Structure 1
Amino acid sequence: MLAAKPDGVLEAIAADLDVSLQNVLDCLPSGAALRADGGAFEDVWSDLTTWGDITFVVHTRDGVFECKGGIPPGTFGRGYFNIHGDSPIGGHIRAENCRWIYFVDRPFFGKRSCSVQFINKTGEAMFKVFVGRNEDRSLKADQVARFEALRDRTAGII
């Protein structure tokens, strides 16, 4: 399916094959999806707070929810990673459920897409952070550089 439609929706492929998103990520071409251990959650989150406006996505079988804004800082407490600050992105994350963090760089509907995808213990996405786009739909160059630096520093730490 990936060969037939390399820029398709990964969750749709996973659903069609009745496999986890992680299974699909692991089948992407070499270099398109590199991963780090979920134990890097706090370090990765901290780096993301410096990127500026991104697109934060929660994709379930029942909907896709997108929010644009900056990643606010967070702290651990009462069993959650609690997000603080003045941003449309907020809430509480069970960070201990994060098994893997994937750095995904692949085409999506004909355009380059870069995302950091937080995958839980069942192989499904907890949420994703996408590099922002300019008015002309091109990726923000400064965020691509931050994405690549974070990936290069973090991916492979398993």
Structure 2
Amino acid sequence: MLLNEQVAALIARRADQTTQAMAEQLGVTEGDLIAALPADWVTLWPGEQTEALLGQLTTWGPLTTIVESAGSIFEFKGPFPAGRSGHGYYNLGGDGGLHGHLKLQAIRQIALLSKPFMGRPSHAFVFITEDGRCAFKIYLGRDEARQLLPAQVSRFQQWQQATGLPTD
């Protein structure tokens, strides 16, 4: 059975499981799994647009940044910090909040992913490495009632229609 067919069968059984869980069930990388999702769930951009995208996300307000490692999940909720390139990394900084050093050259693709999760719609930027693994994800923010922030959803959906980062 082709990967697209296997993914469709998983979605038919439980559409709201994570892409990581789906990939593990099928024995493929998360990047391969995401590429096999329905076309209306995912838009792929080239990894070369990562730095420009991250720069624009600093103006979006609260987001949720997720890093999964060895079965553990680390989350940061808040504005995505500004960064700058130096010493081979994109260095995130600022006063408090999320800090780190991103190896942008390792990002092959950016997936703009829209799929249900835990019974609710979700939208995320998924940064996929050369070997098909997920480096990190940035999910759109939610309000106190756990509803997606409408301005972020609107902008995300506009970007999904583009083949790369709009200059808006």
Report the TM-score when normalising by structure 1: 0.92
Structure 1 moving runs of 4+ over 4 Å: 154-157
Pick from 111, 116, 127: which aligns with 1:107? 116
**Cα distance change, pair 75–154 in 1 and its aligned pair in 2 (3 A):** farther
**Cα distance change, pair 114–34 in 1 and its aligned pair in 2 (3 A):** same
Q: Which has the larger radius of gyration?
A: 2
Q: Does 1:16 align with 2:25?
A: yes
1:1-55 CA distance string (max 9 Å, x none): 2221111111111112221001111121122011100000111111111101110
Task: Give the corresponding residue for 1:69.
Answer: 78
CA distance in 1, matches of 2:62, 2:165: 26
CA distance in 2, matches of 1:156, 1:123: 21
CA distance in 2, matches of 1:70, 1:99: 24
1:81-129 CA distance string (max 9 Å, x none): 1112124111100000000000001111110000011111111111110
**Cα distance change, pair 82–156 in 1 and its aligned pair in 2 (3 A):** closer
CA distance in 2, matches of 1:112, 1:155: 23
| Residue identity opposite 1:22 in structure 2 | G
Give the unaligned 5+ runs of structure 2: 1-9
Give the unaligned 5+ runs of structure 1: none
Q: Is the 8 A contact 1:80 1:94 kept in 2?
A: yes
Task: Give the corresponding residue for 1:131.
Answer: 140
Aligned-residue CA RMSD (Å)? 1.7
